[in-house]
Chains A and B, each alone.
Chain A
Amino acid sequence: MLAKRIVPCLDVDKGRVVKGKKFQNIQDVAHPVDLAKKYNQDGADELVFYDITASNEERNIFLDMVESVAAEIAIPFTVGGGIRTVEDIHQVLRAGADKVSINSAAVKNPLVIKEAALRFGSQCIVLSIDAKQAANNRWGVYINGGRQQSNLDVVDWAKQGEALGAGEIVLNAINTDGEKNGYDLALMQSVAAEVNLPIVASGGAGTTQHFAEVLQDGIADAALAASVFHYGEISIPELKTELYQSGIEVRRDLQWK
C-alpha cells in the first residue's frame, strides 16, 4: 500500500538552511547537507530544497549543494526556487535532483510546465502553489515568495496545472505558514477533490496530530514541514510511529545506518 510521506523542507539561502515565519524574519539554522543526512537517517521519505534567493551569482553555489546532497542521501528530493526555464530544470535534474518544483514562473508562463513535462516526464514536474485565503473556501494564488497576488484562483490553477502535465501539487498555505496551528485542511481538501494528482500539504505543522489530520485520505498524500523538524520539536521516527498507531500507512522499516 502506498505510504503517506513525511517531507522535511529546507529553505536555502546562500548555501545555508533558513526558516522564516510567514515568509519573513529569516533565521539561519544549519548546513543543508548536514540536515539532509540527518533526515535521511531519521527516515524522512523525501526532502525539498527551496533556493530562496536564487540570484544568478548564487545559482552555482546552489547547484553544487544539490550535487552534494545527491551524493549523501539515497532518498528522493525536490528542488525549487528560481526555476524559470526548461534549461533551469535540466540543470537541477543533472545535478542530481529527482523532481523540480515550479511556482511563480509557471504562473507567468504556464507553458513551461507543459514543455518540461514533455521533455522530462510529468513525474518530475511539481507545481508549487502559494495560496492565501480570499473568502470562505476560496484561495488566491500568490507569487514571488508570497509577496504578490496573481489573478488566479488556487483550485482553477491546480486543475490547469494538471492539464498542462504537472505530476504533483504542493499547496503552501500562507495563512497558516509558520503558525504551528495545523495545516489548512479545507484548502487541501478543495484541491484534492478537483485534481487526480498527489497533494503535498505545506504550512502550519506544529504537532504530530496536525500531520495525522492532514494525511487522512482525501486530504493530502504527503505532509511537508520545516521548523518543527529543524528545531527538533518533532522527531521523525516518533512521528511515524504515532501515525502508524493511528492507522496511517507510513514507511517504517527504518534501517538507516
Chain B
Amino acid sequence: MIAIIDYGAGNIKSLQFALTKKGMESYLTTDPNEIANSDAIILPGVGAFQDAMKTLDQKGLIDILKHEANNGKPILGICLGMQLFYETSEEDGEWEGFGLLEGKVSRISNSVKVPHIGWNNLTTHRNSALYKDIPDDAYVYFVHSYAVTAFQHNSLIASSTYGGMIPAFVQQDNIIGMQFHPEKSGDIGLQLLENFGEMIR
C-alpha cells in the first residue's frame, strides 16, 4: 500500500485515481503509524514551499518522512513535493526543506513566462528502471514557478527546457522526484507511476 501524505496540498484525488487505474492501492494519511506501515510514500504538493513545510511540521510529519526515506522506503515527491526534498528554497524568502537531496529551489528565469504551465518534453540523462517504456521526447505536464538548481547531476534521469534546464525527474536510490504531474500526464504519466509501483514489489 502506498501512503499519500494528505497535508491539504491541492489536487490529490487525481493522483489517487491515477494509481487506482494502474491497480495500485493507496490511502490518504497523516498518521505516523500508517506512514511507517506503508510500502511506499508519495508526497504530493501544490502551493507554496513555506506553507507546505509549516503544515508538515505542525502535523509532526517531517521527522517520520525523513526517517522512512533514510531507511530506504521508496518515496516519491511530486511537483512541490519533490522540491521539499532539497535543502533550501528561495520562494518568498529563504526556507529550509527536508535536506534529503543536495540542491536548492529557485524561481524559474524571468526570460520566460512564469509559471511554467503546460506540456513539455523530456530529455533523458541516464537509464533507470523508473523510465521503462517511456519514449524519447515524451511530453509531460508541468505547472510550477520554481525549480531545483545546484543539484547532484548524477541524480538526474530526465530534464526539460524552459528558461534554462529544468530538472524534471530525479532519483537518488529510493528517493524520487517528479517536477511534472504524472497523474496529469496522460498515458506517459500513468506509465511512470506504474514504474514506481514496480519498485515497491
Contacts and interface: CB of A to CB of B under 8 A. Distances in A.
A98 B143 contact: yes
A122 B46 CA distance: 10
B43 interface: no
A135 to B, nearest CB: 28
B187 A256 contact: yes
Contacts of B188: 253, 255
A222 interface: yes
A94 interface: yes
Interface in A193-250: 196-198, 221-222
Contacts of B115: 122-123, 167-168, 197-198
Contact of B119 (A45, A67, A70): A45
A75 interface: yes
A229 to B, nearest CB: 18
Nearest to B52: A121
Contact of B138 (A4, A124, A253): A253
Contact of A121 (B46, B135, B139): B46
Interface in A36-55: 40, 45-46
Interface residues of B, number: 41
Contact of B114 (A96, A118, A196): A196
Contacts of B118: 2-5, 45-46, 198, 221-222
Dominant secondary structure at the B interface: mixed
B184 A121 contact: no
B145 interface: yes
A23 interface: no
A120 B79 CA distance: 13
B189 interface: yes
Contacts of A251: 119, 139
Given A221-B113, A251-B119, A74 B186 contact: yes
Contacts of A121: 10, 46-48, 80, 145
A256 B161 contact: no
Contact of B47 (A98, A120, A197): A120
A236 B80 CA distance: 31
A119 B187 contact: no
B113 A1 contact: no
A194 to B, nearest CB: 12
B181 interface: yes
Given A76-B143, A124-B10, A168 B186 contact: no
Nearest to B162: A2
A163 interface: no
Contact of A1 (B17, B120, B135, B184): B120
A94 B139 CA distance: 26
A197 B10 contact: no
6 contacts: A1-B120, A2-B162, A3-B139, A74-B14, A74-B18, A93-B11
Interface of A: 1-5, 40, 45-46, 67, 70-71, 74-76, 93-99, 118-124, 167-168, 196-198, 221-222, 251, 253, 255-257
Those 5 A-B pairs whose CB atoms lie nearest each other, nearest first: A96-B13, A251-B139, A251-B119, A123-B143, A121-B47
